Structure 1
Amino acid sequence: MNRIRTTAALGLVLSASLVTGCSGGAAPDAEAGGGETAKATGSASAAPKRPVYQGKPVPGLAAQPAWSLTDDESRHCAGRASGQDMSQSDVCTVGDAVILTGHRDGPSGTSIFTARLLDAESGKLRKKFDFPLPEESRGSASSPAAALAQVGEWRDGSPALLIRNREDTPASGLKKASTRTVLTMYAPSGEKLGSSSFDGDTHMSTPVRHGYLVDTSGFGAKFIPIGDGETLPTEVSDVDLKDAVGSGLGYASQKDISYQPYAWWLTAVDIRTGAKAWNTKDLAPPAAIAKLITPDKATSARLMPFQGDKALLEWSSYGDSEAVMTLIDVKSGRRLAEGPGIDTNGAIGDDGLAVSPDGKTAVVQYGKGAVAWNTETGKELWRQAADEVTIMPNALPGNGVLYAYLDGAGAALDARDKKLLFSGIEDMPQFTANGYAVVRSAEGLFVFATQPV
């Protein structure tokens, strides 16, 4: 029987219009970071000194950063709006912007949460957030920043920043003390998309998916909109939601196990209505899998995210490790392209996926090695050899480079033929939607323009 594995869809939906070579650092008066550091008092020489990048040049990135910030200015980034672990602050980009978070001392022993949304090209400040931290969060090094500023998607699937603010009102006269949670989502431009407030602090840790709070405190789930809109109830369980695919609230997959014949069919369910959209029992499997079907044994399938309303559907014969990747329309199950065969045996725990900005190239690692293929024609571009170290794809930003981990070590490979371009990347870049790469190191944060290789 196929194993259930969690797909980590990495490096998705980046802009194809990459910015080419940018040499030299930002000008001293560029105010990278929005002038959040100490301001000059007497002359331009009092401006904070920008850190110098100490790392080796990375293929696909300009030789010099477009702008940079010191470690003190950029110590924390943001969390993930849909994640369950609220302590991770490892997301530094949202659309065409850079997001940085932290906290500072406030009046009378209070602590102030801070977040800055910066233009990726120039480092200019787009929007700044400041508000008191909840008392129980004070003194934590990373948890407040990750929990209060998170990167997610708006209802149309576009990237968005979620800000969670708990407002405490002390008791006064006959009035009891009260707490209110305010959740607001912003576009990368800083434009406000929607905001909602709730009594208490229940939703300070509730996952948010595509502009909706995913409330699973009762039976099934409720989707509570941030901003205008109606709450949507559903019968789909929380277990199924973690691997939901497609834009908006999308589709969840449910196992449909049969013992006569042995099969592990898959039912796709519309999360908004709970209605069945399609079942792999009714779909024709790839020819290589169809020939393995017997009266006693049918197919197995696994659904994984891709881009927009396209998804990856992995087909196999029940109990076999031989599988075939396909690209489908997630609303109907209709096959768009048949990709390469893979061997799912010997998987290393996490799956990997990197997709080019135009969606035409994918590098997948769902078994015994990475495979690159053209998602329009299904043509295999290259395959990891049995005697090569494990290639775990991380990002495919469209500059001709695949950024990946080779047995856990960061590296850059030629996306066309997997030729090794550079190994030993200590800090894997994070890419923006307009062709910039954010690199964090002990010296600070550096933003490079990407360039073709």
Structure 2
Amino acid sequence: MNKYTVMAAGLVLSLGLVAGCDSSGGADTNGQDKAGSSEGAKGGAKPTGPVYDGPAVPGLAEKQAWSLPSSEAIDLGETFLFIKDANGDYSTGGLYENEPIDGTTGTLHAGDEPEPLTLEFRDVKTGAVRKSLKVTADRVAATTWHDGVPALEVRTSSTAESDGLSAEKTTVTVTVYGGDGAQLGKAEHAEGTFHVHEGHIVEQADDASLQLTPIDGGKPRKVTCTGQLASCSFDPRNKDIDGGSAHAPLITGTYAFHVENATTYEDEQEQLVMSDLTTGKKVWSTADVTPPKGVELNEDKERTSGAVRVLDVRDGRILTAWGAGAFSPDTWVTATYDLSSGEQIGGSTTYAYADNPSDTVNTEGSSVLSPDHRLAAAATETGTAVWQLADGKAVWAQQDGENLMTPLRFSPSGVLYGTAEGDGDGETVLAVDGRTKKVLTKSLPEENVPLFSQPSGYGYFSTEDGFFVFPSQA
């Protein structure tokens, strides 16, 4: 499977002036932002790239909006970020570690040494360049700013040589840009392993703690998982905190999660606790709500399985998945709770998920969500199952005897893409109606499965023939 495949089975108007670089390797934002804003208001030319001549893709309009030669891009919401090297060639990405499991581009450029690059911010709908920046960098990757706003991370390293007494020291400068090319924040950090997420530098403080340092200033905070020999880490592929049997988004909006009893060396169950990101005050916990129907309880009314996940936090609601029981490791029960009252909203949905030992991200119990968050789909033992998030009501599920389909993602119009076991060797890519299960195509090339940019809903994919962007199907 290529990078557009979700591992569970799963995303500018005129030519801006190009500004110089500062001594740290970041862009000279004083000149760039002013120039970019002025030029962007004038409008720009639509790129003249290749014409798509492949098979029709359900969920996409018949005619492409625009295209570029073969390349990859980081989706920033209103814009796509493309990179040109010193020769003027577009980056096509690479096989980098820790790429997002949703199929979007994570790292677009990574090198051993800083090198000159041109960042192009192109309008999602028209392809016109909104802004162009020159930077010197050894890493360019997708990230998020506060409240999940799509953003761009540019890292540049510099080394101070030893004077004979002091040790050689390498410093990394992290600059975060928004989708309009404006600088959002900048920070320096010692060389080492760290991640940038939700406007914070995320690093391991010790086995049980993560340190979150705001890039735009502010006091660092530790997120600590409790329990005997507790282990707690951050997985950059799905942006979850990993506490053993418990998983949740590390940061979501103004909240952060940690895990209580994050170990298998205690009798007490693991619990997910959501707290205020700034103060650390507890807001919600799985310990304070009633597990949904279908979760096995012992004689003390406690869960027999410690497995629990938070899948999504949105609009005052929390979507959860609970292990069904101690002897049902692949069976999960999903349910939604009101954040303020702790009451369950709607019913629950129980499925035995497909067991995939090679899936190191541990996505069992997870779901592929539609862009409007009305539908969820998951890979179960009998194939794909689809249900409504609002009330947990099943929409449809595959039956015994059908070719097992693993869902990848939804289009804004409700098309569900997935891979299925073919009649011969290998897999085939399907597109089905997410509501009715009707097969729309059974032989879509895997590289043509689109990703969708929000909020426009425009779909895009990259093949050896080019980078193609389409309006979503009405």
Give yes or no for TM over 0.5: yes
Which residue identity is paired with 2:312?
F
Q: Which runs of 5+ in 1 are unaligned?
A: 1-5, 12-29, 37-46, 78-91, 135-147
Q: Which whole-Å CA distance do the structure 2 matches of 1:297 and 1:450 have between them? A: 47
Q: Work out whether 1:411 is the aligned partner of 2:416.
A: no
- SS of the residue corresponding to residue 185 of structure 1 reads strand
Retained in 2: the 8 A contact 1:438–1:448? yes
- SS of the residue corresponding to residue 460 of structure 2 reads strand
Q: Which whole-Å CA distance do the structure 2 matches of 1:57 and 1:228 have between them? A: 48
Which residue is 1:239 aligned to? 233
- SS of the residue corresponding to residue 289 of structure 1 reads coil
Question: Offset at 1:413?
Answer: 1.0
1:432 to 450, 453, 460: 453
Q: Work out whether 1:93 is the aligned partner of 2:75.
A: yes
Q: Which whole-Å CA distance do the structure 2 matches of 1:169 and 1:263 have between them? A: 49
Q: Work out whether 1:443 is the aligned partner of 2:465.
A: yes
In structure 2, the CA distance between the partners of 1:409 and 1:213, relative to structure 1 (3 Å rule), is farther
Aligned length: 380
In structure 2, the CA distance between the partners of 1:431 and 1:181, relative to structure 1 (3 Å rule), is same
2:321 to 293, 309, 313: 313
Q: Which whole-Å CA distance do the structure 2 matches of 1:238 and 1:59 have between them? A: 41
Which residue is 2:271 aligned to? 266
Q: Work out whether 1:324 is the aligned partner of 2:324.
A: no
In structure 2, the CA distance between the partners of 1:166 and 1:384, relative to structure 1 (3 Å rule), is same
1:176-325 equivalences in 2 (<5 Å): 180-198=171-189, 200-202=190-192, 205-218=193-206, 220-236=209-225, 238-239=232-233, 241-242=241-242, 243-245=247-249, 246-248=252-254, 250-254=256-260, 264-268=269-273, 270=275, 272=277, 280=286, 282-289=288-295, 293-294=298-299, 298-300=303-305, 301-308=307-314, 310-320=318-328, 322-325=331-334
Which residue identity is paired with 1:390?
L
In structure 2, the CA distance between the partners of 1:223 and 1:256, relative to structure 1 (3 Å rule), is closer
Retained in 1: the 8 A contact 2:274–2:285? no
Which residue is 1:378 aligned to? 392
- SS of the residue corresponding to residue 406 of structure 2 reads strand
- SS of the residue corresponding to residue 126 of structure 2 reads coil
Which residue identity is paired with 2:462?
R
Q: Which whole-Å CA distance do the structure 2 matches of 1:184 and 1:409 have between them? A: 41
Retained in 2: the 8 A contact 1:360–1:375? yes
Question: Offset at 1:120?
Answer: 0.4
In structure 2, the CA distance between the partners of 1:368 and 1:331, relative to structure 1 (3 Å rule), is farther
2:406 to 389, 392, 396: 392
Which region of structure 1 is more displaced relative to structure 2, 210-219 or 413-422?
210-219
1:112 to 92, 110, 116: 116
Question: Offset at 1:322?
Answer: 4.6
Retained in 1: the 8 A contact 2:310–2:318? no
Question: Offset at 1:102?
Answer: 4.5
Retained in 2: the 8 A contact 1:255–1:267? no
1:274-318 CA distances to partner (integer Å, 9 max, x unpaired)?
67665545532333335x645698432421422436332224122
CA RMSD of aligned residues (A): 4.0
- SS of the residue corresponding to residue 98 of structure 1 reads strand
Q: Which whole-Å CA distance do the structure 2 matches of 1:412 and 1:367 have between them? A: 20
Question: Offset at 1:330?
Answer: 6.2
Which residue identity is paired with 1:96?
E
- SS of the residue corresponding to residue 336 of structure 2 reads strand
How high is the TM-score relative to the length of structure 2?
0.68
Which residue identity is paired with 2:127?
G
1:31-86 CA distances to partner (integer Å, 9 max, x unpaired)?
999899xxxxxxxxxx9962121310101111221111112xx2x43xxxxxxxxx
Q: Which whole-Å CA distance do the structure 2 matches of 1:259 and 1:48 have between them? A: 59
- SS of the residue corresponding to residue 439 of structure 1 reads strand
In structure 2, the CA distance between the partners of 1:263 and 1:249, relative to structure 1 (3 Å rule), is closer
Q: Which whole-Å CA distance do the structure 1 matches of 2:13 and 2:377 have between them? A: 38
Retained in 1: the 8 A contact 2:321–2:332? no
Which residue is 2:55 aligned to? 56
Retained in 1: the 8 A contact 2:255–2:274? no
Which residue identity is paired with 1:450?
S
Q: Which runs of 5+ in 2 are unaligned?
A: 1-5, 19-45, 89-112, 226-230, 235-240, 422-426
In structure 2, the CA distance between the partners of 1:335 and 1:105, relative to structure 1 (3 Å rule), is same
Which region of structure 1 is more displaced relative to structure 2, 235-244 or 62-71?
235-244
Retained in 1: the 8 A contact 2:145–2:198? yes
Highest RCO, 1 vs 2 (Cα 8 Å, sep ≥ 6)? 1
Retained in 1: the 8 A contact 2:173–2:186? yes
Identity %: 25
